[in-house]
Amino acid sequence: MSKKIVIFASIFAFITQSYAGCSELSAKHSAPDPSTKTMKQIERWVKRKVKGADASALKECLIAKAADNPNKAAVAGN
């Protein structure tokens, strides 16, 4: 029983962290408003400004909300 609780708590913590991660990463790196940028502009900005593990996570978050993203309506939170 306690093993199930630990697994559930770990999954919950991971999900919570991933949702909070986008806004935290955007603030940490002073990211531009993605709704005013194209996907290519966001890719270039991330390549120039962000290094390491944060780069791919931030790029995915910003592109999901990009002005020209055809899947934008499907992104949660829009």
Q: Provide mean pLDDT across the span 21-38.
A: 90
Q: What's the pLDDT at 43?
A: 95
pLDDT in tens, 32-50: 999 899 999 999 999 999 9
* Six token digits for residue 58: 């931030």
Q: What's the pLDDT at 71?
A: 75
* Six token digits for residue 20: 């909070």
- If one counts every other C-beta atom within 10 angstroms of the C-beta of residue 29, the result is 17
Please give the share of the chain, as a percent, with pLDDT higher than 70. Answer: 72
Q: What's the pLDDT at 21?
A: 80
pTM above 0.75, yes or no: no
**Euclidean distance between CA atoms 78 and 35, whole angstroms:** 11
Which tops the pLDDT comparison, 16 or 31?
31
